[in-house]
Structure 1
Amino acid sequence: MTTCDNLNITVEEISDEVELALSISRYTLTIIGVIANLVVIIVFINCKIYRKCFTYTLIFQQAFIDLIACCSYLILFNYNVPDGHAGVVYCKSRTLFWLFASGSTFNLVYISIERYIAVVHPMRYWARGEWKNKMLPQLFVQFVFSALVVFQLSIFSRPDDLSPGKCRYCHGSETVRVISGGSIFLLNWVIPISIMMFCYRRVYVTMLKHSKSKTKWRKTPSSDQTDATTEDTATDTEQGTGIDLKIDRTSNSTRYSKAQVNFVITMVISAFVFLLSITPLLVLYFVYVLCDCFDYDRHPLRQAAIICFVSSLAANPFVYAFKFNEFKSGFRKTFFRRDKK
């Protein structure tokens, strides 16, 4: 008896009203996600924000990943599976959505590591900044990890014999199911969440210590300190370095700009939204892997959990509009500012 044909599990039937509500939610969220991420891409290109620093390039890439994930979800999860060999291809092609969804996760992790190095180890970050062109290949690291994690889904996915027009995962045995599900839960939830929590906690502690020392430093200002601050601000404006740190190599001190603090807060909010949206789906999947006590593929809770996860793909542009000052000014410049004659 194989896992995918386990007749001891009752097939979950979804009422027409619930199916209609889920369909409306899927279409609405994915369309919003496509439009919102497209707006981010347009703003970043028009204002050349992605060129200011490598971390902004990662944000630009995040919008592309989320855009493709929303498009693939709209195409691959809202139509009935065709019959025959075409149905097999259609079900396996759904792995494309999970590839970009997982890539979105790893890209957020990459950004948290990037900010951790910039804030906690600024000298190392400054030294690395002198060979930024060599960092461009690192933009593909997320996709390599993502492909390694989700490739297994293309092997297990197939049309559902019990529910025509649907797909499901056939693992073949309980051991394979547990190994597959456990690895996905570990690599897409436990490790990413742990890394982001560690990185942003260290960033917060480091910035807090700097803020306290800066307060003490300001109590006894001198003309030299004022000149240094002015020079640093001018350098920041001239070079257009975005959120990269300013480091005084003679005194080994670091100055955090408002732009950098603002960006860190923005990404913490994005990470928190990601945590809230991805947790229901992966926790539900992990419970299914452990007990195999309900029909995971057709359960209404799984449909709702996927919709919750897709909402995270559409949420980041709204987080940027709420908190990310660089994006807000670029948005106004792109869509509202008119040239004066």
Structure 2
Amino acid sequence: MEYTSLSSTDSTYHGIEFVFQPFGSTVFYGIFLFISIGSVVGNSLVIAAYKIDKSLRKRPTNTLLISLAVTDFLTGLIAIPFYTLARGIKSDFTCSGNTRFLLFFPGMLFGVSSVTHLTVIAMDRYIAVSRPLRYPRLVTKKRCVITLVAGAVFSIIACSWPVFTMDSLDDETFCEEEKKTDVVTSFVLALSLIIVLYFGIMIFCHICMIRTALKHVRLRRTLSTSARPEQSGAEDAKSRLRATVTVAIIMGAFIICWAPTAFKFLFQSFFSYSEHCFLIVQVTCEVLFYANSMVNPIIYGYRNVQYRLGYMKALHSCCPCIIKKPLGQAFSIVSKQRPSIV
């Protein structure tokens, strides 16, 4: 992608100017169109599976997952189109200070909300693994809803407080050069610290969950009878491998999608830079940032058999020609199985 040099020196844009050259614009909009459609379709399937399968609605954990799916759905439907308008087009409208903040606001809001959900889900699974007997009393659907409401309020406050602290920016333009006010710098720094804090909590929960799960596997292996030792060992190994792979996927996706954004925020807070040269790095980080909303349905849906069958049933309801096999028997079999940690 190449940055389009502008001839205007008064930061006034006559008409509409594209930030990238034609080929770069095609790649830019193509990537984000793919992410947007993937987020909307993928999370729609998660929501449909939750609505179709009654057993999913009985588990508090799935309340967290469906709320995350709604957040990621709104990211693809609202945040990404607003972002592409602000990042890809230069005009008096998109470069106005207040307008530009409002265009980026949905992405910041849904992004912080998504990380909040991931952190709460990590804590929920840690409790489920480390305190399996007390889990039904500690984690209820009502408490999950209260936690989600508190997280939503926190996300709104964290992302909207600059509106109440900065003066009107209608006379300022933010496209030709980077404007680094004290308020903007402190806001970016606060967001980066929030992401780092959540990241630390998630790492702690997942490491403890892996250690506890492996400890339980060793304990079950010790207490198991010797009647069928080979089968017992194979099942334990399979369970351990699945738990380890699932947690590795969760943490790997989070690191890949969010670490570049966190480092970018920290860099923006402490160093001066040229918007001209920093554009490609910034867009790359933002591609990964928004791609997380498309990845979540794969991790939290495809790894769960019930969600996977819910996808199939939803597709069968919309397009019977795609999936013709009845799924009722499969659902009845899966509902009797012991749920996995994911």
CA contact (8 A) 2:309 2:327 kept: no
Q: Deviations over 1:161-200 (max 9, x none)?
A: 3647xxx874424xx4543332211102x11111111101
- After TM superposition, the structure 1 stretch with the greater mean CA deviation from structure 2, 118-127 or 19-28, is 118-127
1:126 shift after superposition: 3.1
Q: Distance in 2 between matches of 1:214 and 1:183?
A: 45
CA distance, structure 2, for counterparts of residue 184 and residue 25 of structure 1? 25
Is the Cα contact below 8 Å between 1:37 and 1:64 reproduced in 2?
yes
Identify which of 115, 125, 129 aligns with 1:115: 125
Deviations 1:88-140 (A, max 9, x none): 553232312211111001100000001111211234323225x5435422221
Residue aligning to 1:301: 281
Residue 78 of structure 1: SS of its match in structure 2? Answer: helix
Q: Please state how far the C-alpha of 1:31 moved relative to its aligned partner.
A: 1.4
Aligned counterpart in structure 2 of residue 323 of structure 1, from 292, 303, 308:
303
Distance 2:83 2:47 in 1: 24
Name the SS of the counterpart of 2:134 in structure 1: helix
**Which residue is equivalent to 1:180?**
187
- CA gap of 1:117–1:269, structure 2 versus 1, over 3 A, is same
Q: Aligned letter for 1:122?
A: P
> CA separation in 2, counterparts of 1:37 and 1:150?
23
Structure 2 spans left out of the alignment, 5+ residues:
1-8, 10-18, 228-235, 317-322, 329-342
Whether 2:43 is the aligned partner of 1:33: answer: no
Mapping of residues 204-283 of structure 1, within 5 Å? 204-219=210-225, 266=246, 268-283=248-263
Q: CA deviation digits over 1:221-268, x for unaligned, max 9?
A: 7xxxxxxxxxxxxxxxxxxxxxxxxxxxxxxxxxx9x99996885465
From the superposition, tell whether residues 81 and 43 of structure 1 become closer, same or farther in structure 2 (CA, over 3 Å): farther
Shift of 1:48: 2.9
Contact kept, 8 Å, 2:191 with 2:265, in 1: the verdict is no
- The structure-2 alpha-carbon separation of the partners of 1:46 and 1:283, relative to structure 1 and needing over 3 Å to count, comes to same
Q: Which has the higher contact order (CA 8 A, sep 6+)?
A: 1
For 1:247, the equivalent position in structure 2 comes to none
Secondary structure of residue in 2 paired with 1:299 = helix
2:135 to 101, 122, 125: 125
Query: Structure 1 pair 333/15, CA: closer, same or farther in 2 (3 Å)?
Result: closer
2:159 to 121, 127, 150: 150
What is the TM-score of this pair, normalised by structure 1?
0.72
Q: 2:326 aligns with which of 318, 333, 338?
A: 338
Deviation at 1:81, TM superposition (A): 6.4
Say yes or no: does 1:19 pair with 2:7: no
> Shift in Å at residue 38 of structure 1?
0.9
Cα gap change, 1:86 to 1:169, in 2 (>3 Å):
closer
Contact between 2:261 and 2:285, CA under 8 Å: does it hold in 1? yes
Give identity over the alignment, percent.
19
Q: Residue 113 of structure 2 contacts residue 151 of structure 2 at CA under 8 Å; is this kept in 1?
A: yes
Contact 1:266 1:320 in 2 (8 A): no
Tell me which residue corresponds to 2:340.
none
Residue 198 (structure 2) aligns with? 192
Three-state SS of the structure 2 residue aligned to 1:179 is helix
Pick closer, same or farther for the CA change 1:330–1:73 going to 2, 3 Å.
same
* CA drift at 1:298: 6.6
Which piece of structure 1 moves more, 71-80 or 83-92? 83-92
How far apart in 1 are the matches of 2:142 and 2:54?
A: 17
Cα contact 1:296–1:302 (8 A) shared by 2: no
For 1:331, the aligned partner's letter is Y
CA distance in 1 between partners of 2:277 and 2:43 (Å):
29
Q: Indicate how the Cα distance of structure 1 residues 71 and 298 shifts in structure 2: closer, same or farther if over 3 A, else same.
A: farther
Classify the secondary structure of the residue corresponding to 2:275: coil
Distance apart, 1:55 and its partner CA: 0.6
Match of residue 209 from structure 2: 203
Task: Indicate the residue corresponding to 2:107 in structure 1.
Answer: 97
1:288 corresponds to which of 261, 268, 273:
268
Q: Does 1:313 align with 2:293?
A: yes
Q: How does 1:6-85 map to 2 (within 5 A)?
A: 14-79=20-85, 80=89, 83=92
2:36 alignment partner AA: T
Q: How many residues align?
A: 288
Q: Gaps (5+ residues) in structure 1?
A: 1-6, 8-12, 222-255
- Structure 1 counterpart of 2:100, one-letter code: C
- State the 1:296 CA deviation: 7.9
How many angstroms apart in 2 are the aligned matches of 1:259 and 1:54?
22
TM-score by length of 2: 0.72
Distance across 1 between alignment mates of 2:113 and 2:267: 23
Q: Is the 8 A contact 1:66 1:314 kept in 2?
A: yes
Distance in 2 between the 1:133 and 1:177 partners? 37
Q: Which AA in structure 1 matches 2:257? A: S
Tell me, yes or no, if structure 1 residue 137 matches structure 2 residue 137. Answer: no
Give the root-mean-square deviation of aligned CA atoms. Answer: 3.5
